[in-house]
Structures are given as structure tokens and as C-alpha cells.
A = this chain, B = another copy of it.
Amino acid sequence: MLVALAGGVGAAKLLKGLAAVHDPADIMAVVNTGDDLVLHGLHISPDIDSVTYALAGLDNAATGWGVVNESWTVAENLRAIGGVTWFQLGDRDLATHLYRTQRLSEGATLSEVTAELAAARGVATRLIPMSDDPVRTRVTLADPGEGAPAEVAFQDYFVRLGHDVAVASLRFEGADRARAAPGVLDAIASAERVVCCPSNPVVSIGPILAVPRVLDALVARRASVVAVSPIVAGAALKGPADRLLRELGYESSALGVARLYAPWAATFVIDEADAALAPAIEELEMRCVVTGTVMSDPAATDALARAVLAA
């Protein structure tokens, strides 16, 4: 079994590559749920959905989020009656949230619903939330503005504010009481290899590590953990990882991420653009693999997946 720690879009790309070069039924992706939200009464799991849609070939390459060939009838009508529309929900995407919310209300766990949705979409890779218990990333803004709350929910920061604001700190509400989803700890313990996808270290991988016993399980398997840097030449390819790292006191570089992951990952994959950082990374007692990590097309993605498996 290959276990992958996954956030959203970056992870989805690498998982697509891994599923192309490795038996997908032998891959378990443990997906961040810290950025889940309830909006309009619907339970939305953005990272699980990004991964599911990508593996089902339904991801929207043009927008980088949501579903391909999407339509917006509900959203347009919601806008017309004055509803909340800052979190855009397409019609095809909404079916996912309706399904998930209904099944959760019937007593199904998020793990069960995630498996059902993956099966319904024809996804062979095993997808599992990091936890069936609610863990919610909360963001304290450095400068919330007059009368605005200092702490906001993750999607308020990420989507509503367009992550264009300074962050003072993060916390993962509920993480202390959360249990890893059934099978996650065993899978990490017995996996041939654990891959940490090129996701945001603080808001995508961070919540997974905050679930009790996950970090210990990874530390115990450090020799088998391969992490891929989400930072190339000091910048995130997508999203606010670089800015967040700086604001939270880390270095926005592959080396900065390596320092965060060194306690539990023995191998670190960096981009050729960062080859000069390899010696410093190896001083962290990590083996450093230098290769192309920018998944600009399927060939590049599959090549990175092969490099990760060979690492």
C-alpha cells in the first residue's frame, strides 16, 4: 500500500500521476478536511472534492477548482435573490454537497460518504478524510480592519478574502479531540511508502499532522516517507503557501519546508530550480532528490510520480 498525505489541487495532480504509474487500488490518499465548511446547510469538503474530481477526470483545468463543464443556474438564481455567493458552487458540484450532507444526516461517516462518492465517480484510488471528526482551520488575521473579527474560518480567509491579507496565526479547532479516520494509522504503519504531496505545508498538511497520533505514526515510519516540496524557487505554484510560511515565521523556500518535514520525512523531492538547496537539506538528515516538480502536463506529472516512487 502506498499512502499519500493530500491537500487539494497540488495533491490532486500528483495523485493523478501516481494513479497512472501505480495500481490506484493500492493507493490510499489521506485528505485534509481542515478547510471543510458548512454553507447553505451543506457540508462542503473542498480538498476531498478537488482530489475526487481530479482522479475522476472531472477537474476544471481552466479554473483550477470545481468541475469541468460546470453550469451555474443555482448560483445565478441565488445571486438574484440576494444569497451568499462568495463561495461559488456550480450545479454539478452542488450535487456532491447535497449527497454528502444527506448521507451525513442519515448517520454515515465522512469516510463512508467519501468512499461512496469516489466509487460513484469511478475513482479507484482509495480516498479517506484525515478524520471523521470535525477539525476546522481558523485563521487569525494580522490586521482584520475596524470592527471585523480577528479570527475567521479558513474559507473566509481563503476564498472570501482571496487570501490577500496578512495572517498572524492558525489553529485547528477540534483537532485535539479528533481521531484519525478508521484505517489511517494502520495504513501509515504498514505502508510500503508514504508520500507527502506538494500541498500547503501549514494549512493542508498541517491539519493532518494535528490529528492525534498521525505525527507519531509518521515519525515511526520516517525512513519510508517521501515529501515533495510545494515551494519552487521560493514561491508557491498556486495559493498562499509562500506568503503564509513567511508570515508564520518560516522560510519560504524548499529548505524552509524541509525543516518543517525533517522530523518525519527521510526523503525530500525538490525542483531543479532549487538544486543549490540540496546540501543544506541533506544536513537535515534528509535524502534530497532533485527533479522536475512542476506538473505542467501529464507527462511531467507522471515523471514526477515515477521519481517519487523511485526515491
Give the interface of A toward B (CB within 8 A). Answer: 38-43, 71, 73-75, 77-78, 80-84, 91-92, 94-99, 101-102, 104-105, 116-117, 120-121
Q: Which of these, B40, B75, B104, B121, contacts A102 with CB under 8 Å?
A: B40
A43: B residues at CB distance < 8 A: 41
The CA-CA distance from A303 to B31 in the complex, in Å, is 63
- Please determine whether B102 and A74 come into contact, CB atoms closer than 8 angstroms: no
Other-chain contact of A81, B38, B42, B91, B121 (Cβ < 8 Å): B121
Instruction: Enumerate chain B residues within 8 angstroms of A40, measured Cβ to Cβ.
Output: 42, 97-99, 101-102
Cross-chain pairs A/B with CB under 8 angstroms, 20 sampled: A40-B42, A40-B97, A40-B98, A40-B102, A41-B41, A41-B42, A41-B101, A42-B42, A73-B73, A74-B92, A74-B94, A77-B91, A77-B96, A80-B95, A80-B120, A81-B95, A81-B120, A81-B121, A82-B120, A91-B91
Q: In the complex the two chains form, what is the Cα distance from A70 to B81 in whole Å?
A: 16
Given contacts A41-B102, A73-B91, A83-B102, 14 further A-B contacts (CB under 8 A): A38-B105, A39-B102, A40-B42, A40-B98, A42-B98, A74-B94, A74-B95, A75-B95, A81-B95, A81-B96, A81-B99, A82-B99, A83-B95, A83-B98
A117 and B92 CA atoms in complex are apart in Å by 24
Question: In the assembled complex, how far is the CB of residue A120 from the closest CB belonging to chain B, in whole angstroms?
Answer: 4
Shortest CB-to-CB span from A121 to chain B, Å, is 7
Tell me the minimal C-beta distance from A36 to chain B in angstroms: 13
Closest to A116 in B: B82
| Residues of chain B within 8 A of A95, CB atoms compared | 74-75, 77-78, 80-81, 83
Chain B residue numbers with a CB within 8 Å of A101 are: 40-42
* Chain B residue nearest to A104 in the complex (CB): B41
Cβ distance A216 to chain B, nearest Cβ, rounded Å: 35
Contact A78/B91 with A41-B42, A41-B105, A105-B41 known, Cβ cut-off 8 Å: no
Chain B residues within 8 Å of A42, by CB: 40-42, 98, 101
In contact, A99 and B73 (Cβ under 8 angstroms): no
Q: How far is the CA of A144 from the CA of B228 in the complex (A)?
A: 58
In the assembled complex, which residues on chain B have CB atoms less than 8 Å from the CB atom of A41? 38, 41-43, 98, 101-102, 104-105
A41→B97 CA distance, assembly (Å): 9
Give the chain B neighbours of A92 by CB distance below 8 A. 73-74, 77
